[in-house]
Chain A
Amino acid sequence: MVPPGMAAFDLVAAKKWGFAFVPAVGILELVAHLWQTTAGVVPESDWRAAREVVKAKAKADDLVVFAPKWTDPVGRETFGDEVATLEREAFPDVTRFPRALEVSIRGKHRDELAGWKELARDQVGGVTITTLENPSPAKVIDDLVRHASPQGMTVQRTDGAREVDCAFQTGGGQAGGLGFGMAIPNERFACPGGAFVGVSVLEPIDYSARKCLYAAPIGGGSILRVRFANVAFGKALHGHHGLYSEHERGGASVTLLFKAEDKTLGRVVHNDGDGWKGYELDTRELEGKRGELIAEVTAGNGNRRQYCFEADTR
């Protein structure tokens, strides 16, 4: 007798017909495959339609990202350089963006935007565009990476008492394949002896893209010095530094020292395994002023030290 309110489960029948589980798995797998390879694939037309929505909504200082991350190449191809700019693709972190447009498929989200407030959501076929607000955006006053021109900065190499200027040059940039590391930018300050400083994109240990100043330390007692001109200071100097992923596997620590008004603002050290490492230096004494900011890059040994840093004042 089955008690009232209880369903009966016939064990004998279950055993008899249990074999059906196997063909059911086979058929389910077949159906899942058919769905995953047809209706489950977001068509190109949805991506194109999503581009128009984002184009209409995105402001210049908005972040635009694609989720999941593996869709990024499709996003860049479809949205083009106008929307998927280098600054949006290779941002140092998300703190500077007041808003973000997350273009996502498959219900995925970007970890960087966790905790941001959702303002709007647009569904374009299989693509979801979510407008998110940064709960505490930072107001960037000056971006050191934007100083990378003869008007914005100068570079020197110091070997003991000898200091030489590194001339700004255009041309001869190089990009390689796997294991090459960061691209050597076409526009760079080239020092006698091989060191240089220029804007490139780093692949740090997490393989993300980070736009920064490629400034590989020379090693020994030599200093690679960058003098940023007419920097507008704020309360803090906020930045990151890192090494090319394959160089995080055994090498000397890299030290980045910031100076202004003949005072040391702070020293940050990058050790192997640190990845894209953030730092923030207190500059309240300089807040509201404009002046020269000096960054000095040194390492005990410059071997396999493709190093890159970025900073902004805020």
Chain B
Amino acid sequence: MSKVAEPTWRDRLRLGKEVGPGDHLVGASLGAVYVAWLLATARELGFARDEGFYFRAATDYARWFKLLFERPQIAIEQSSIDPIWQVNSEHPALMKSLFALSWMFLHEKWKVFDDASTAFRFPGMVMAGLAIWLVYIWGARVFSRRAGVFAAFGLALMPGTFYHAHLACFDVGIMTMWAACIYVYWRAEQKGGLAWAILAGVMYGLTLETKHNAWVLPAVFVVHALVLHGKRIARSSRVGMIPIPTSLLAMATIGPAVFVLLWPWLWNDTLPRVQGWFRFHLNHEYYNMEFLHVNYWKAPSPPAYMPVMIVATVPAVTLVLFFAGLGERAKIAWLRVRALLAHAPFLASQLRVSKGDGPKDRYETDLLLFLGLTVPLSLFLLPKTPIFGGTKHWMPAYPFLVLFAGRGFDLVCTAMHRALAPRLIDARARFMATAALLASVTLGSLLITSHSHPYGLSSYVPIVGGTAGGADLGLNRQFWGFTTQSLADYFAKNAWQGATVFIHDTAWDSWSRMLDEKRIRSDLRGVGSPSEADFSIVHHELHMNETDYNAWVHYGHVAPDFVLTHDGVPIISVYRRSKPKP
């Protein structure tokens, strides 16, 4: 008898028919390259307003983690927890805890990162890398490897995603966790068994722990489960039993337990504090946001806001592929609906279908992807939802958008192979054609995304005319005062030793860190009003025009000394107290 050779690790990593470890290597590599790109460009991007708050919160939480490692009995006492975890207690703990631990180990202890900020930001970057990995694997499992590859590129090469992926914030974190939670639920449905169900429960807890977007995730699961298990539920309900998928049960039980367990703030006075968390977000103050030359500052959002902003910020080719993929899946869904209708004899004759004609979707995957896409988006069509924060709030929809776009790429690729069949004589030729097609649909996005840095929120895609086109349309120029660091060169050349600078929309913690890390000259002194300042900066946002006018009146001249622009569009004006140069 000949002995069958044990597969080597190389064999295991080879991309076979089934999605396997080799695909995880591909996905992880794509994610790792993205994280490397983010790390390489992190120093060029100053700190957004909220980052300053989270830097502070994470630094405080790090003190508690230190206490936990050294004196755990004392750390778990309420008197140790509350003073620290009360800081920024309107947001749960997962991302800020990761920021804290990353800072403790990767900056303070092991000195992996020179900048403390890079250590704070690293977990967010890793989350972005994980999202790339996830959409590759999911795309490969549902459609094809080609679809997975495009999904990964599509997600990575959006200026908005690229910007947010740099930050020590929660938005990319929740995008990843939203998609990962739905993915694990989907795998739990496929694989069955207690382990996957428990994992789904844990994932839901972690998603809740990331950001409150997780509140609406049950809408995805319940609708999907009702469709997937509808018949079984209907049958069982007749005998007084309602079967509930184990994964959903785990999410309803393990999820909240994980959530409370990982957020020390909730270890005492749990219910009132959970209520406080809900209250904060249900009564969140409104922010100002310019849309089509109108400044919105209260609910409702204009219904066009979300779709127009998607068109204006996501590369057009990705959207074209998305519609191609979605269209095909919609067509399949229609065929399935027709087949279902065939059970009604009258309709069957009208539609000319017979029972069992429709395509199969055993786990209702298309529906799940559609729900993952539409639930985060639909919130922005509700009459009570105000505009605050712009595009970042529907980023959880983007992994699903690119999965459909991946399917679109797949279809286009197949059509191309068919059209070029006589010329594509071997696998190498087909591979080269596929690579050329991939390049044609990603190179533009790569340049657009790369060029947007470090003005990610100011940038708009070519279909609306780029950054200048966005300004023409009256779309928001920036947010969170994230562009301040881009004045570093100006201040280096023009400010005298110890000059005072009115920092406008820059958060104090963000400003301090920029000085600490010598991103801006560290002798400069930030002040809170133009009256106290030698130099005043104005972040150009419509509702902040008053700051311009204040400078005019106070300094007695209207000409800024310098205007920072991106593609010719003003981002920040700098006024100096003394007359500007002639």
Residues on A close to B: CB < 8 A?
A: 16-23, 25-27, 29-30, 32-34, 36-37, 40-42, 68, 70-74, 76-77, 79-81, 84-86, 89-90, 105-106, 108, 173-178, 180-183, 185-186, 199-203, 207-209, 244-245
If A73-B563, A177-B505 are given as contacts, then 16 extra A-B residue pairs at C-beta distance below 8 Å, sorted by A number, are A18-B415, A25-B441, A29-B315, A70-B471, A70-B472, A73-B540, A74-B563, A174-B531, A175-B529, A175-B530, A175-B551, A177-B529, A178-B505, A199-B553, A200-B553, A207-B543
B444 near A68 with CB under 8 A, answer: no
From 557 to 582 in chain B, residues with beta carbon under 8 angstroms from any chain A beta carbon are: 557-563, 565, 567-570, 573, 579-580, 582
B568 near A25 with CB under 8 A, answer: no
B558 near A84 with CB under 8 A, answer: yes
Given contacts A176-B550, A180-B529, A201-B549, contact A74 B565 (CB under 8 A): yes
A201 interface neighbour in B415, B463, B552, Cβ under 8 Å: B552
B472 interface neighbour in A19, A34, A68, A181, Cβ under 8 Å: A68
Q: Which residues of B contact A26 (CB under 8 A)?
A: 317, 440-445
Q: From residue A180, how far is it (CB to closest CB) to chain B in Å?
A: 7
Residue of B nearest to A199 (CB): B553
Bound Cα distance A29, B408 (Å): 18
From 454 to 509 in chain B, residues with beta carbon under 8 angstroms from any chain A beta carbon are: 461-463, 465-469, 471-472, 477, 502, 504-505
By secondary structure, the B interface counts as helix
Q: Which residues of B contact A89 (CB under 8 A)?
A: 552, 558
Residue of A nearest to B317 (CB): A26
B471 interface neighbour in A19, A37, A68, A90, Cβ under 8 Å: A68
Residues on B close to A: CB < 8 A?
A: 295, 315-317, 320-321, 324, 408, 412, 415-416, 418-419, 437, 440-445, 447-448, 451, 461-463, 465-469, 471-472, 477, 502, 504-505, 528-531, 540, 542-554, 557-563, 565, 567-570, 573, 579-580, 582
Q: From residue A127, how far is it (CB to closest CB) to chain B in Å?
A: 11
B544 near A178 with CB under 8 A, answer: yes
Q: From residue B422, how far is it (CB to closest CB) to chain A in Å?
A: 12
A203 interface neighbour in B463, B549, B580, Cβ under 8 Å: B549
Residue of B nearest to A176 (CB): B529
Q: From residue A248, how far is it (CB to closest CB) to chain B in Å?
A: 11
Residue of A nearest to B564 (CB): A73
Q: Which residues of B contact A16 (CB under 8 A)?
A: 415, 418-419
Supply 17 A–B pairs (Cβ within 8 Å), ascending by A: A19-B415, A19-B416, A22-B321, A22-B324, A22-B437, A22-B441, A23-B440, A25-B317, A32-B466, A33-B444, A40-B468, A70-B471, A174-B529, A177-B547, A199-B553, A207-B542, A209-B548
Q: From residue B500, how far is it (CB to closest CB) to chain A in Å?
A: 13
A19 near B419 with CB under 8 A, answer: yes
A36 near B545 with CB under 8 A, answer: no
B549 near A209 with CB under 8 A, answer: yes
Q: Which residues of B contact A185 (CB under 8 A)?
A: 553
A41 near B295 with CB under 8 A, answer: no
A77 interface neighbour in B324, B502, B573, Cβ under 8 Å: B573
Given contacts A29-B461, A207-B543, contact A183 B553 (CB under 8 A): yes
B530 near A36 with CB under 8 A, answer: no
Given contacts A86-B558, A178-B505, contact A37 B567 (CB under 8 A): yes
Q: Which residues of B contact A201 (CB under 8 A)?
A: 549-550, 552-553
Given contacts A37-B567, A173-B531, contact A30 B444 (CB under 8 A): yes
B546 near A30 with CB under 8 A, answer: no
B550 interface neighbour in A23, A180, A207, Cβ under 8 Å: A180
Given contacts A23-B437, A29-B462, A33-B447, contact A183 B550 (CB under 8 A): yes
Q: Which residues of B contact A105 (CB under 8 A)?
A: 568
Q: From residue A275, how far is it (CB to closest CB) to chain B in Å?
A: 12
B316 near A25 with CB under 8 A, answer: yes
* Most chain A C-beta atoms within 10 Å of own C-beta, residue among B418, B505, B550, B557: B550
B444 near A22 with CB under 8 A, answer: no
* Most chain B C-beta atoms within 10 Å of own C-beta, residue among A90, A173, A178: A178
Given contacts A74-B568, A80-B582, contact A36 B551 (CB under 8 A): no
A178 near B570 with CB under 8 A, answer: no
* Most chain A C-beta atoms within 10 Å of own C-beta, residue among B408, B560, B563: B563
B559 near A77 with CB under 8 A, answer: yes
Q: Which residues of A contact B469 (CB under 8 A)?
A: 36
Bound Cα distance A25, B415 (Å): 16
Bound Cα distance A173, B441 (Å): 56
B558 interface neighbour in A85, A200, A244, Cβ under 8 Å: A85
Residue of B nearest to A21 (CB): B320
Q: Which residues of B contact A202 (CB under 8 A)?
A: 549
Q: Which residues of A contact B468 (CB under 8 A)?
A: 36, 40-41, 106
A19 near B412 with CB under 8 A, answer: yes
A32 near B462 with CB under 8 A, answer: yes
B553 near A175 with CB under 8 A, answer: yes
Q: Which residues of A contact B579 (CB under 8 A)?
A: 81
Q: From residue A234, how far is it (CB to closest CB) to chain B in Å?
A: 29
A76 interface neighbour in B441, B477, B558, B568, Cβ under 8 Å: B558
* Most chain B C-beta atoms within 10 Å of own C-beta, residue among A16, A25, A209, A244: A25
Q: Which residues of A contact B447 (CB under 8 A)?
A: 30, 33-34
Q: From residue B209, how far is it (CB to closest CB) to chain A in Å?
A: 32
Q: Which residues of B contact A244 (CB under 8 A)?
A: 546
Bound Cα distance A21, B579 (Å): 55
B444 interface neighbour in A27, A76, A182, A207, Cβ under 8 Å: A27
* Most chain B C-beta atoms within 10 Å of own C-beta, residue among A26, A41, A180, A185: A26
